[in-house]
């Protein structure tokens, strides 16, 4: 069995206090769309939805009733922690009783990830241990210091912008999160944590449409 973790972040000042995951999108809200993408995967037996501390009842009120009805079946609602990594670890621990072989970790603020992308990540993660989608950067990237001075002009051919879902073998990812929590290790995403404690991460071709909602204009067509 495979599993998935869907991470809903805390409140964003850029959205005037209302969580971006609860903003309207299509026939429902952003969170509905992200959850439906994971529920469409036949191999994913359980999905843990990691929510901000104290946010379970709020989520139940916003979710499409048909999706909320999945709680107790395929869907597990998990009260997360102060940091994203805490929320992922707690969600992984909630899934541990089902002993999934592979897990997807997806940001709820990426509602446009396709079923095909999710399956490609799962397949490569099962084979290699860890996988994530990347897209080549459109802009020329510069590495700069604290004073704004350009230090390096890296070639775009060697760069990729990371997306989610990211896929991993379940048990090693949970072990990596537990070790990081014990050591106080910070990471920007789960693939960085995997690379630190477990080994190499492999990539699949991402999707330009799979953008992350960060600003209100990201919800525009």
- For the cut 70, the answer to whether the pLDDT of residue 14 exceeds it is no
pLDDT given at position 24: 93
What CA–CA distances, in Å, run from 113 to 20, 34, 75, 102?
16, 8, 19, 18
- Cα 221 from Cα 27, distance rounded (Å): 14
The answer to whether the CB of 189 falls within 8 A of the CB of 133 is: no
Average pLDDT, the chain: 93
Domain range 2-219, CATH class: alpha beta
Average pLDDT over residues 43-70: 96
pLDDT given at position 156: 86
77 DSSP 8-state letter = E
Direct distance between the N- and C-terminal alpha carbons of the chain, in angstroms, rounded to an integer: 36
Q: Of 93-102, 149-158, 193-202, give the lowest mean pLDDT range.
A: 149-158
Average pLDDT over residues 192-217: 95
Report the percent of the chain where pLDDT is more than 70.
96
pLDDT given at position 15: 57
pTM score of the predicted model: 0.94
pLDDT tens by residue, 100-114? 999 999 999 999 999
Q: Of 40-49, 138-147, 175-184, 189-198, give the lowest mean pLDDT range.
A: 138-147
pLDDT tens by residue, 116-161? 999 999 999 999 999 999 999 988 899 999 999 999 999 888 899 9
- Sequence-distant (6+) residues with CB within 8 A of 138 are none
């Amino acid at each position: 069995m495979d599993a998935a973790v869907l991470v809903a972040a805390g409140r964003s000042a850029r959205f005037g206090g209302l969580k971006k995951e609860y903003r309207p999108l299509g026939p429902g809200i952003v969170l509905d769309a992200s959850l439906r993408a994971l529920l469409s995967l036949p191999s994913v037996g359980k999905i843990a939805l990691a929510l901000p501390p104290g946010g379970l009842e709020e989520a139940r009120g916003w979710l499409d009733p048909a999706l909320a009805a999945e709680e107790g079946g395929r869907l597990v609602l998990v009260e997360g922690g102060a940091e994203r990594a805490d929320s992922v670890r707690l969600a992984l621990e909630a899934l541990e009783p089902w002993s999934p072989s592979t897990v997807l970790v997806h940001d709820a603020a990426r509602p446009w990830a396709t079923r095909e992308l999710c399956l490609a990540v799962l397949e490569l993660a099962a084979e290699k241990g860890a996988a994530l989608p990347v897209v080549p950067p459109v802009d020329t990237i510069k590495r700069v210091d604290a004073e704004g001075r350009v230090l390096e002009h890296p070639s775009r051919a060697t760069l990729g912008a990371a997306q989610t879902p990211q896929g991993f073998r379940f048990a090693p990812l949970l072990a990596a999160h537990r070790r990081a929590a014990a050591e106080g290790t910070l990471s920007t995403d789960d693939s960085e944590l995997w690379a630190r404690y477990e080994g190499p991460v492999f990539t699949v071709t991402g999707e330009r449409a799979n953008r992350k909602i960060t600003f209100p204009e990201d919800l525009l067509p």
